[in-house]
Every structure is written in C-alpha cells, then in structure tokens.
Chains A and B, each alone.
Chain A
Amino acid sequence: MHLTGLPLATLIQIAAGLGALVLVSYILKLKRRPVAVPFSKLWERILRDKEATSLFSQLKRIFSLLLQLALLALLLFALGDPRTAAAVLEGRNLVILVDTSASMKATDGMPTRMDAAREEVRKIIRGMGGSDRALVAAMDATVTPLSTMTSDLPSLEGAASSLQASDARADFPRALRFAIDSLRDQTKPEIVVISDGRLGNPADAWGAVSSRTSSSPTSRSAHAAATPPSASSPCAAIPSTSPATR
C-alpha cells in the first residue's frame, strides 16, 4: 500500500491538529451553557425520571465523539490517496532538449523549423501522464533550462512558447551531459531531443557522452522539420530502446 496523495508526515500533522480540534470542541461541549431558572426544584422532578436515560445520553455523547474521529480518519485516508503497490504507476522524468541553433531559423517548416519544434514540445507535454514530470531546455552554444522539472503543464507550455532560435550552433554533447545530470537518480528517466538533425555526434573533447548511472536515461529524438524526416533530414527519430544515449 502506497500513499500517492499527501505524504504520511503531513497526514500525521493534519490528524494531530484536527484531532485536537475535535477533542477540544467535545470538551467545550461537555461544559454546558449555564441557564438561570426561577425554581430548580421543578427541574429536579423531571431529572428524577430522566436518571434512567442518563447512561444512554452519556453513551450517545461518546458515540458522537467516536463518529467525529472516524470521519476525520476517513477524510485523512482519502487525502492520503492510498493505492496498492500494483496500482501505483511511477511517472516518467523527461528532459526535453530543443535545438535552438541558427539552422532552426530555416523557413521550410511551418513557417519556421522553430515553430515546428515548439509544436512538437507541446505535443509531448500534452501527452504526459498525471505523474510524469518534464524539464524543457533550449540547446544552442549553451544549455538554458526554461523550466524546472515539473508536472505543471502551464509552466511547461510557457517554456515551450519562450523557445527562440539563436545564431549559434548547438552544443549537443554539453546538452546531453546536462540532461543526464538532471536525470541522475530519477525514476524512468528519458531524454527527448527535438532538432532538425544537424547535431553531429554526441562527443566532445572529453569523449563520447554516456550515462554512468544505474538508471540510465533512454533517449529519443523528434524531428522538427515540416516535411517527413526521412525526406528532408538525415537525422530521423531515433528509437529509444538502448539505455545509453544515442
């Protein structure tokens, strides 16, 4: 059983707070409102008859407290959103590297390759699951992350919109290193490269870029041109089967 909602520590804190509130209100309720009467002997006569039912009324009070606590427990249980281990799907962690090199300014796209790349990014974002998280980064001579690693779709969409092509060439190996570092120790890591294909080999002066972690990110690339990648570009979508970066 896993809690996919609020974490256990938070739930315990809420339970302590609300539980104390319920108990305080119960104790305050026990402290009855004083009401002046002209002649208490008249009430005494009624109370003599009511003695028999006082046990029931006390039980009723305790039951009411227990019911309130039970409702509180159910509420917290719901906030915890418990799932069985099998039912819990771990989300992916994506780093979307978008090529913003000068070649992306070419107008053979819709109308530019950059626009096509933005559209690709949006498609990927819209296709994310509820527990998936993504980071959008612009890749030119440097690597500029445009968002944090988040599942917040509006901020990711905003990052996609802010993508602009520069006049520099793309430093693919550096971008890959950045992506690998970002995904280190993350579950289901995935790197998506969106480019027009003019990236060259993922190697630099330090050698070929590869993941050295146990949970190596898979990678795939999307082609940003308007025409089918096979026709316009040598760099088609790379199948994401290997644990190593391709």
Chain B
Amino acid sequence: MGLRDLIRRSSLPPPSIRGEDDLFDDEFQRKLEYLALVSRRVFGGRLRAERRTKKSGSGIEFADHRDYVPGDDFRYLDWNIYQRLGRLLLRLYEEEEDLSIYVILDMSSSMGFGRNKKVLYAKRMAAALAYIGLANLDRVTLVTTTDHVMDRMPATRGKQRIFKVFQFLRSVHPDGTTDLGQALKAFVSQHKRRGLAILLSDLYDPEGFEAGINVLRYNKFEPFVLHLLDAQDGKPPVRGDVRVYDCETGEEREVTVTSRVLEKYREAYEKYVDDVRLFCTAKQVAYVPADIHVPFDDMVLRVLRRGGMVG
C-alpha cells in the first residue's frame, strides 16, 4: 500500500460529511414506496410466479414436445400423440420461478471520486431497485466489488427487509482498484442461481469494461448495465503543467493541460461512453446511462421502462 493510499484512507471523512447520514431518510423511503407502486402498475400482470424462464419443468403452461428417452418421467408422456402418430413424445412445461435479482455495486475508489457523488447516487439507485425487487417478492442479493467481491448481502425477500439493505449499503465504502472481469468471475462462481444482474458502475476498468459484462453474459446471467456518469469527469478543472495520477492505481502521467488538450480529453471521454453504449447494444445487453445529476427516482423509472426489470 502506497503512502497516497494511506493518506486517502486516513482522510476518509466521517459519514456525516460524506453525506450518508440522510442517504435513506424518510423522504427517500416515501419515494421508494411510490416507485414500487408505479413499477407494479407499469408491469402489472408480470409479477411473481408468472415470470417464465427458458427452463422447462413442472409449471402448468405447455411449452413444447420432445422425444422420449429412457429415464424420463412417464407422467409427462403425451398419450394422445402416441395414439395418433405412434411416437413417444414428452410434454414440456415452462418452469415458473421467482426471479433472482443481483445488485452488483462497483465500490472501487473511482466511484468515490469527486466527493463521493457517484457512490451516493449508486447506493440510492441500488436501494431503490432492491426495494422494488423485494416488494415484488423477488430474491434480491446485493454484492459490492472492486477487483474482487468485497461484501455480499445474502438473498432476501419481502419489502420489510429493505432496512437490512440500507444497513448493508451504509456499511460499504469505495476503496480499491477496479477489475470487473476478475470480480464477476468470483461472483458467478458464488451464485449458481442465474438471474438479473444489475451492474452499477462507472466502468473505469483498466482491463476494459467488456470483460465484466462478458462474464455475466457467458454465465447465463441477464446483465443490466447502469453506467454511472458524472459530467465533471469529462470536464476536469485542471490547467497548466500537472502530474495526473489515477485515484485507484496511482499510475502517473505528466501532462500540460491546455484548452486544446481539455477538448481532446472531452472527446476521449465521450468516445469511451459511446464505446460502452455501442458494446451493450451490439451484445443486446440492457444499458442505461445514469447521469448522477438526474434525480434518482426519475432514473429508476427510466430504468424500469427501459429494461423491464421487474417483468
């Protein structure tokens, strides 16, 4: 651990200064209730026990036929087909199950950059989405990551558990480097039950943002990327001869910042955001750019409309 890390850790302000005292105040909780109601109205009829999965099993909704192979349950044989066609076919039904929602919160140092604005916003978003999930009786799990899985709140259900979520979110603080690829590999190995994986991150991953999203895709999770964007990141208030250092890795670069350089930086930043969006679109991954200056409840509604999160 370098001296800079040590100073950063020791200079971490107390919760009152970090703005976390009133992170989940009464006003916030009222908004959550409203959001849960809205989500129910918007996605009415697609609630618990009606969510169909690709998995066929023991539901009541007929899905398909397949050939009988020795060992199959006789009870699912379609005797009518056998009578008409003389073939042994098995009836397949859609498995109905409650959805597992994984809220994956990036807790690397870059999320705390700029007076913790991104991380506070992300925590509120995570709490809101978790509440909507809990209210819909989905199984909600919260996970925080850096270059590994940091903390985990085990799967829980029912909206009365929201205070546990608040408690969990209050206890985590941004610290560490980002490696979504490694962290999410660990995550998928720990969570065998597939489901919706909502990734809240600024995606400042030196190894490339694609790795983490791909891990979720390849392991049959349904990734949902909430890309936290702070406009300030694209317009750093820097001028003159400076030595820029990465707040996570401490990597240093000497640069003379002129208005031309700032313009180039802005272009590079916009291109980076664009690359993320294009990648998600190409891979059919639900993607919502979350500007932290948009009120979080508006953003939650946007997310619900965009992704059919609870549907």
Contacts and interface: CB of A to CB of B under 8 A. Distances in A.
9 contacts: A29-B241, A36-B113, A36-B245, A37-B244, A38-B204, A39-B202, A39-B204, A42-B269, A45-B268
B289 to A, nearest CB: 16
B36 to A, nearest CB: 33
Given A38-B113, A38-B202, 19 more contacts: A33-B240, A34-B242, A35-B238, A36-B245, A37-B246, A37-B247, A38-B246, A38-B247, A39-B110, A40-B245, A40-B246, A41-B204, A46-B261, A46-B264, A46-B265, A46-B268, A47-B253, A49-B264, A57-B256
Q: Is the interface of A mostly helix, strand, loop or mixed?
A: helix
A39 B246 contact: yes
B268 A37 contact: no
Contacts of A44: 253
B240 A38 contact: no
Contacts of A32: 241-243, 254
A43 B76 CA distance: 62
B70 interface: no
Interface string B91-133: 0000000000000000000100110000000000000000000
Given A32-B241, A35-B244, A42-B272, A50 B261 contact: yes
Contact of B233 (A35, A38, A47): A38
Contacts of B246: 36-40
Interface of A: 29, 32-47, 49-50, 57
B281 interface: no
A35 B262 CA distance: 14
B8 to A, nearest CB: 9
Nearest to B232: A38
A43 B240 contact: no
B249 interface: yes
A32 B256 CA distance: 9
A43 B255 contact: yes
Interface string B217-240: 000000000000000010010101
Contacts of B269: 42
Interface of B: 110, 113-114, 202, 204, 206, 233, 236, 238, 240-249, 251-256, 261, 264-265, 268-269, 272
Contacts of A37: 113, 236, 244-247
B241 A43 contact: no
A32 to B, nearest CB: 4
Contacts of A42: 265, 268-269, 272
Nearest to A36: B247
* The 10 nearest A-B residue pairs measured at CB: A40-B246, A39-B204, A32-B243, A38-B113, A38-B110, A36-B247, A35-B242, A37-B244, A45-B268, A46-B264
Nearest to A37: B244
A41 to B, nearest CB: 6
A65 B269 CA distance: 35
Contacts of B256: 57
Nearest to B241: A32
A47 B113 contact: no
A34 B8 CA distance: 14
Contacts of A50: 255, 261
B204 A43 contact: no
Contacts of B233: 38-39
Nearest to A34: B243
Contacts of B204: 38-39, 41
A41 B241 contact: no
A124 B280 CA distance: 97
A38 B248 CA distance: 7
Contact of B249 (A40, A43, A57): A40
Nearest to A32: B243
